[in-house]
Amino acid sequence: MSAIEDTGIGSRLKAARERLGWSREELAFRSGLSWSAIAQVESGRRRNLRPSTLSALASALGVAIDYLVHGGVSPPAMLEHRALLYDTNEEFLNTAEPFMAEGIERSEAVLAVTTSENVELLRDRLGAGARRVEFAEQAGWYHTPSSALNTYRTFANGRLAEGAPWIRIIGDPAWVGRSESEVRQWTRYESLVNLVFSAVPASILCTYDTRTLAPEIVRQAGVTHPHTIGRHGTTSSSDFADPSGFVLGA
């Protein structure tokens, strides 16, 4: 079989490796390739990769070969979808700022859609790095669940087409002031994100301010997000419901 020429494989390989917190040595061990080969691919010095090499890398990283070669959406689940539960500005910043700073460092497409207060908090904490983040106030994005999904999808597709190796988003669906029926719709929206963006190379952090939200809304965060982040760190959501069953049965 002929080799496949690099079209951005190096940056996507590095992004997928760093997302898992692996060194090049770790990826070499897990893929059966040499450290030097991985270094050459990531730096762009090695541009023609055999299918067997791509298969070994994709299998080790849990991504599709098509993602490494072409970028964009690929069939296996790649989405990281987490809920941050916080009750002070400092708790918000202690998770949200490193989350965004990591994306900036990795040259990912970084977007924060949240309250005007949180936007200012993030700008101040990020400093000069804030220039590499796209900020938007929640009111302009969260008109309806369907419009929000379409807007996020347009953002993701556009940035991936421009060459971003990964998408990183902070989102806050503006729960305050919603009616009971609207809360149910937006809860379905949060669950639906797991399906709509499953194959997108993205990390999405949904923020829940427990100072202003009803306890039931906070509880539902564990139903609609595979992982939650609180004072004790990141935990798997024991209440997480299969998105297809949850959305169809809600």
Please report the pLDDT score of residue 23 as a whole number: 93
CATH (residue range 80-249): 3.40.50.300
Please report the pLDDT score of residue 1 as a whole number: 38
Please report the pLDDT score of residue 5 as a whole number: 45
- Does residue 189 register a pLDDT over 60? yes
3-state SS of 81-120? EEEEEECCHHHHHHHHHHHHHHHHHCCCEEEEEECHHHHH
Please report the pLDDT score of residue 49 as a whole number: 82
Contacts of 4 (CB under 8 A, 6+ apart): 48, 49, 50, 51, 54, 69
- Does residue 248 register a pLDDT over 70? no
- Does residue 6 register a pLDDT over 60? no
CB 184: neighbour CB atoms within 10 A? 13
Residue span(s) of the chain under CATH 1.10.260.40 come to 4-70
Predicted confidence (pLDDT) per residue in 130-156, tens digit? 999 999 999 889 999 999 999 999 999
Burial, 56: exposed, middle or buried (Cβ in 10 Å; 0-12, 13-18, 19+)?
A: middle
Contacts of 94 (CB under 8 A, 6+ apart): none
Instruction: Kindly report the pTM of this predicted structure.
Output: 0.74
Please report the pLDDT score of residue 240 as a whole number: 92
Tell me the mean pLDDT in the region 84-105. 97
CA atoms of 40 and 24, how far apart (whole Å):
11
Please report the pLDDT score of residue 9 as a whole number: 87
CA atoms of 88 and 105, how far apart (whole Å):
26
CA atoms of 221 and 210, how far apart (whole Å):
11
Half-sphere exposure of residue 174, counting CA atoms within 13 Å on the CB side? 19
Query: Which amino acid, one-letter code, is at 176?
Result: V
Please report the pLDDT score of residue 75 as a whole number: 52
At 80, is the secondary structure helix, strand, or coil?
Answer: strand
Residue span(s) of the chain under CATH 3.40.50.300 come to 80-249
Split at pLDDT 50, 70, 90, the class of 3 is very low
Please report the pLDDT score of residue 38 as a whole number: 92
Structure-block tokens of residue 178: 């919603």
Predicted confidence (pLDDT) per residue in 155-168, tens digit? 999 999 999 999 99
Please report the pLDDT score of residue 166 as a whole number: 94
- The CATH superfamily of 4-70 is lambda repressor-like DNA-binding domains (1.10.260.40)
Predicted confidence (pLDDT) per residue in 21-74, tens digit? 999 999 999 999 999 999 999 998 887 788 788 888 988 888 877 788 877 655
Max distance between CA atoms of the chain, in angstroms, equals 59
